[in-house]
Amino acid sequence: MYLTARRAFVKEGPTTAMRLKYTIPPLIFCAFRLAETVRGLGDEAANTAAKRVFKFVFENLKSLTAANYPALTLRLFLQAVGSAGRCGFEEIAYEFFAQAFAIYEESIPETKAQIQALQLICGTLQSTHFFEKENYDRLVAKTAGQSGKLLQKHDQARAVFNCSHLFWKEGTAEVR
């Protein structure tokens, strides 16, 4: 059903790119709900079906990236991280995070948009509790590195301050 809806939304025409901006996000959120429901069934077939749904989400987000909506696509990739994490698919969530960083690096040139994107990335990373230590540390280091690359010093300071909270484990005094 989702594939049929996607085919109808993506038909070539003069307004295809504009149409994608309004039709793909609701389709993706419905897919998140479907993946989480199917994953809740708990058997191996449910795992495979949920992974196929996330593959569908990934393909739709790539088509939205090609339509040149970087801010929207970044937000949806970060939403996909949370959904994949709730389903217990750490490697899929990590891939969604990697794609979010790729969009940040390649498609968001404005300083204000970069600051907002880093705040979203920090917030998403702060709310994740399913990454293994090595993956989490890599994502934190990448976020901190991108924060240090902002052009203005006061923006760098704010972004690095936001990242500093990512180095603390929740509920303990232990530093990562």
72 is a domain residue: yes
Choose between 2 and 109: higher pLDDT.
109
Q: Are residues 121 and 150 in the same domain?
A: yes
Domain count of the fold of the chain: 2
Domain assignment present for residue 116? The answer is yes
Pairwise CA distance, residues 109 & 102, whole Å: 12
Q: Is residue 85 part of a domain?
A: yes
Confidence of residue 7 (pLDDT cuts 50, 70, 90): low
Same domain flag for 3 and 83:
yes
Using DSSP, state whether 108 is helix, strand or coil: coil
- CB atoms under 10 Å from CB of 59, counted, come to 12
List Cβ neighbours of 78 (8 Å cut-off, separation of 6 or more). Answer: 96, 97, 100, 120, 121, 124
The residue out of 89, 119, 145 marking a domain boundary is: 89
pLDDT digits (tens, 9 = 90+) for 108-167: 989 899 999 999 999 999 999 899 999 999 999 999 999 989 989 999 999 999 898 888
What are the residues facing 168 on neighbouring strands? 175
56 is a domain residue: yes
Q: Which domain holds residue 163?
A: 109-176
According to the model, what pLDDT value does residue 17 have? 64
> Is position 123 within any domain?
yes
Read off the tokens for 43.
Answer: 């058997």
55 and 1 co-located in one domain: yes
